[in-house]
Structure 1
C-alpha cells in the first residue's frame, strides 16, 4: 500500500508541476493532454484497485506470520507490568506466585481453562517465566482496545503465546483469540475514519467486500471493547 501511494504521488507531482501540452505516442501520432489525463486517471484507478488487492494479501501474509513458530526473544522487559511488579508483593495462583496485578487475570485463566501447565514436562521453576509472560500478554489484551495496538504488539503476544505452546501449555484458546484480534486490527484500519456511506463504497458491484469481510466483522465485534472480549466464556 505504501509503495502504491508513492507511485501515485510521483505521477501527480510530474503531471502538475511539469504539465505537458501534447504527447507523441510510439507510432508518431499526437495525443493531446486531455487524452493523456484520461489515460492517467485510468492508471490511478487501476492502482487504487490494486491497493485493495495488496491489502487483502497483507492480511493473509500477516496471518501467516502469526502462525509461524519462530524462535522467540520475548522477555520480561517487553511487558511493563512485569518490569514494575516483579520482586514486589506476590500471590499464589495454582502452582505459581504471580505479581499482584497479574493475580486477577491468572485466576480468570485458571477458572476458565484449568491448569494450563498440567501437560508440561517442565518443573515449576523452569515453567514460571513462560507462564508469567503468557499471563502478561493476556493482561495486555484485557487492558487494550483496537486503536491501541499495532502489528509489533500482536507479534509480541504471538511470541509469548508460542513460548507457552512450545512448553506444552494448553494455550490453543489464546492462539485462536489472537487470530481474531489480528483480523479485527486490519478491519479497524479499513473502517477507521469512514462513514457508513463510505463503507458501502468498499463493496463491489456484486455486493462483496473488496477487503476480507471477516476482518470487518471482527472489528465491529471488538469495537469499544477490551481485546480480551470473548476469550473467557
Structure 2
C-alpha cells in the first residue's frame, strides 16, 4: 500500500477521533452549562413561589371550583354542612381538636365557610404529587388564609401546604437529577468507546509506520 495513502487514512481517522472527542467534550460542557442554568432557574422558581405563597391573596373562587357537595345539611359542631362534606371536616378535626372554636362571625355564615373548607379538603384528597400544580396549592392557600382571618384555627394547614410545595419541587429536582445521570452515563459510554477507538487507531498507525520504515520507498514499487 502506498505510504502516502496509508498516512492519509490514518490522519483522517485520527481527525475523526479528535472531532468526535471534541464533540463529547463540548457535550459535557453544554450539559454542565444547562445544569447550572437549570439549577439557577429552579432555585429562583422555588424562591419566587415561596414568596408568593407567604403573601396574602384573597380567594376569588366559588366552592364549586374546588369540589361540589350535594348532600342534605347535617350538624357539624355548632354549624350545618352538607353530609358529603362532613367526613372531610371530621377527619381534619380528629387530628387537630376543635379548629372552629375561635370563629368570629355568625353561626349562619360558618356553615358555608366550612363547606368551602371541605371542598378544598376533598380536592386535596383527590390530588397527588404526580398531578398537583403550583396554581392549585396557591388557590388552596388563599382559602385557608381567608378562613383563618375569620377565626378558624388552620395554621397547621398552611404548614402542610408549604410541605406539599416543597415535596413538589423536591420531586422535580429528583426527576432532573435522574435525567442528568442518564445523560452522563451515555456520555461516559461514548467517551469509553472513543478512547478505545483512539487507542486502536494510534496502535494501527504505529504498526503501519514501522512496516513502511523497514524498507526503502523503491522497494515498495512493483517490479
Instruction: Name the structure 2 match of 1:26.
Output: none
Is residue 68 from structure 1 mapped to residue 51 from structure 2 by the alignment? Answer: no
CA distance in 1, matches of 2:181, 2:117: 39
Alignment RMSD: 3.1
Cα distance change of structure 1 residues 187 and 36 upon mapping to structure 2, 3 Å threshold? closer
TM-score, length basis structure 2: 0.63
Instruction: Name the structure 2 match of 1:160.
Output: 143
Instruction: Name the structure 2 match of 1:49.
Output: 36
Cα distance change of structure 1 residues 141 and 120 upon mapping to structure 2, 3 Å threshold? same
Cα distance change of structure 1 residues 46 and 196 upon mapping to structure 2, 3 Å threshold? closer
Instruction: Name the structure 2 match of 1:90.
Output: 73
Q: Which has the larger radius of gyration?
A: 2
Structure with more contact order per residue of length (Cα contacts < 8 Å, sep ≥ 6): 2
Q: Which of 76, 82, 86 is the aligned partner of 1:99?
A: 82
Instruction: Name the structure 1 match of 2:173.
Output: 190
CA distance in 2, matches of 1:147, 1:154: 13
CA distance in 1, matches of 2:67, 2:87: 17
TM-score, length basis structure 1: 0.60
Structure 1 unaligned blocks of 5 or more: 1-33, 202-233
The Cα offsets for residues 104-159 of structure 1, whole Å up to 9 and x where unpaired, read as: 11112222223222112211122333222122212222222111211111111111
Residue-pair matches, total: 164
Counting only pairs closer than 5 Å after superposition, residues 105-184 of structure 1 correspond to structure 2 as 105-184=88-167
